Amino acid sequence: MYRSLSLAALLLAAEPPSSAGGLSFTDARERARQTHPAILSSRLAAQAARERVNGTGAWDDPVVGAQLWQIPLDNVENALVPGLTPAQRATTVAMGPSMVNVMLMAQQTFPWPGKRFAQRNEAGALAEQAAASTEVMRADVDRAVAYAYGDLIAAQGSIAVLEQDRTVLETLVALSDSRLASGSGSRVDALAARAELEGLQRELIDVRQAVRTAKARLAALIGADGPDAVPDAAHTFLIRPLPPREELLARALTQRPESRIAAAGVRAALARLSQARMAMIPDVTANVSYMIGVGGPGDYAKHGAVHTILGPPDMVTVGVAVPLPVLAPWKQMPQADAARVEHKRAQAEADAIARTVQAEVDQALAGVDMARSHLELHSTRLIPLDIAGVDAARAAYESGQGSLVDLVVAGRSLRGHHLESQTALLQYARYVADLERATGVPLNAFGEGGTP
């Protein structure tokens, strides 16, 4: 009996049964990427940063205006001359000024050419940081999905092992009870078999709870309506060859989003430094004005429309204004010093990320090697030894030279090592997810129809 159990459980430990129409890892990850609120929020922030780039570095709006300029009040002064009657005074005021000047003006500030370029460089670098931040959030969600999906596979595989073992134990309990009733068996054997079955029932309760917990985590990640809305896992653990350490490190420095954030931060700091330096270069403001001089109402009454319009001469004024940077040592220079320090800080942060990447890659690779070593130990030594032990205990029990307790203990050891194999596979999948998060390189530890 335990012989058939050992072979079935060994297969189950390597490849847990997949559910028809179940949830694949790729589907779970894609649904999380599309619906997770944190990713959506970060994606919108990146979009807003890209929109800001379009308006950065644009020229200031031109200034246009119109003025009634230097209007003489001679009509008012003439109305105050002594000797005039009230009617004459009112008529003099009503005649209006002798001329009316209308000034039309336009003004435009021309920044130093490099200032606008530096502003756009900074805005572009900040947009790159926002886009990379979206990938950081997506990478975190991907790892969370991998962890929860791996927990679900391991729990489903453990249930398969325990259910198979329970079937065997139920048969052994019935056999021991039958032998005890016929007088050919011992009460110790009957109690041992029943105690082992009850202990296995307790393990099943815990593992079923682990399944529900993993589904609850997946439901929150993919936007499902609770754990009951999450199907069983359709994929299983797969062990694939990984790229060499040197390749992982090299690709991490270019593909990991935090590395791109740090690189964009260096570029943004350089752009701010350029802006601070060029802030001491004054902008040029050019202005032009056109003054139209026309005669007043009195001039129109005396000389007619033509003389009124062509009366006072028109004038054009052209000017250029440049601010004097006399306060630059107290205003722009401290900003330039701060920008230089900020650039050094951004470069140091980029170097720190490179060191962090190296540590995370090495730790994840060490974990992968450890998980593989455990799997090899279980598949090549521990489980085969347990199978041999189960065969020996079964043969001794069937020949009447051994006890059922020995067979139960041997079966428990075999079951434990199968469950430990599931744990080792889960550890492998988690370390691969950590490695993918550390490098930005897609390394999937799940798939269909494969064998570790």
pLDDT tens per residue, range 18-27 = 455 689 999 9
Model confidence at 290, pLDDT cuts 50, 70, 90, reads confident
pLDDT at 11 over 60: no
What does the pLDDT average to over 365-371?
A: 95
Q: Which of 11-15, 142-146, 318-322, 391-395 has the lowest mean pLDDT?
A: 11-15
Mean pLDDT of the chain: 84
- Say how far apart CA 406 and CA 186 lie, in whole Å: 13
Max avg pLDDT among 177-181, 216-220, 293-297: 216-220
Model confidence at 346, pLDDT cuts 50, 70, 90, reads confident
For residue range 432-448, list pLDDT tens digits in order: 999 999 888 888 889 87
Residues 6+ apart with CB under 8 A from 168: 1, 2, 4, 5, 411
- Say how far apart CA 193 and CA 213 lie, in whole Å: 30
Question: Could you tell me which residue, 60 or 421, shows the higher pLDDT?
Answer: 421
pLDDT value, residue 2: 46
pLDDT at 208 over 70: yes
Encoded tokens for 312: 């006072």
- Say how far apart CA 35 and CA 27 lie, in whole Å: 12
pLDDT value, residue 107: 92
Model confidence at 361, pLDDT cuts 50, 70, 90, reads very high
Model confidence at 218, pLDDT cuts 50, 70, 90, reads very high
What is the number of other CB atoms lying within 10 angstroms of the CB of residue 294?
17
pLDDT value, residue 365: 94
Q: Which of 128-142, 192-206, 356-370, 398-412 has the lowest mean pLDDT?
A: 398-412
What is the number of other CB atoms lying within 10 angstroms of the CB of residue 237?
28
pLDDT value, residue 206: 95
Question: Could you tell me which residue, 116 or 432, shows the higher pLDDT?
Answer: 432
Question: Could you tell me which residue, 304 or 347, shows the higher pLDDT?
Answer: 347
Spell out a b/e string for 49-69, using b for 16 or more CB atoms within 10 Å of the CB, else e.
bbeebeeebeeeeeeeeeeeb
Q: Which residue has the tokens 């929020």?
A: 41
Model confidence at 331, pLDDT cuts 50, 70, 90, reads low
% of residues, the chain, pLDDT over 90: 38
pLDDT at 324 over 60: yes
pLDDT value, residue 3: 41
Helix (H, G, I), strand (E, B) or coil at 23: strand
What does the pLDDT average to over 75-82?
A: 77
Model confidence at 79, pLDDT cuts 50, 70, 90, reads confident
Q: What is the DSSP letter of 256?
A: S
Question: Could you tell me which residue, 161 or 346, shows the higher pLDDT?
Answer: 161
CA angle 177, 178, 180 (to 5 degrees): 65
Do β-strands 99-110 and 284-295 pair in parallel, antiparallel, or remain unpaired? antiparallel
Closest CA to 336 of 282, 268, 283, 278: 278
pTM for the predicted model, two decimal places: 0.76
For residue range 144-168, list pLDDT tens digits in order: 999 999 999 999 999 999 999 999 8
pLDDT at 310 over 70: no
Model confidence at 88, pLDDT cuts 50, 70, 90, reads confident
pLDDT value, residue 441: 87
What does the pLDDT average to over 217-243?
A: 92
pLDDT at 319 over 80: yes
What is the number of other CB atoms lying within 10 angstroms of the CB of residue 313?
8
pLDDT value, residue 1: 37
CA angle 219, 221, 226 (to 5 degrees): 15
Strands (E), 262-309: 284-295
Q: Which residue has the tokens 């050992």?
A: 6
What does the pLDDT average to over 366-389?
A: 93
pLDDT value, residue 305: 65
Q: Which of 118-132, 138-152, 273-287 has the lowest mean pLDDT?
A: 273-287
What does the pLDDT average to over 344-359?
A: 83
Question: Could you tell me which residue, 142 or 341, shows the higher pLDDT?
Answer: 142
What does the pLDDT average to over 73-86?
A: 78
Q: Which residue has the tokens 């005396």?
A: 302
Question: Could you tell me which residue, 295 or 85, shows the higher pLDDT?
Answer: 85
Model confidence at 276, pLDDT cuts 50, 70, 90, reads confident
- Say how far apart CA 446 and CA 145 lie, in whole Å: 12
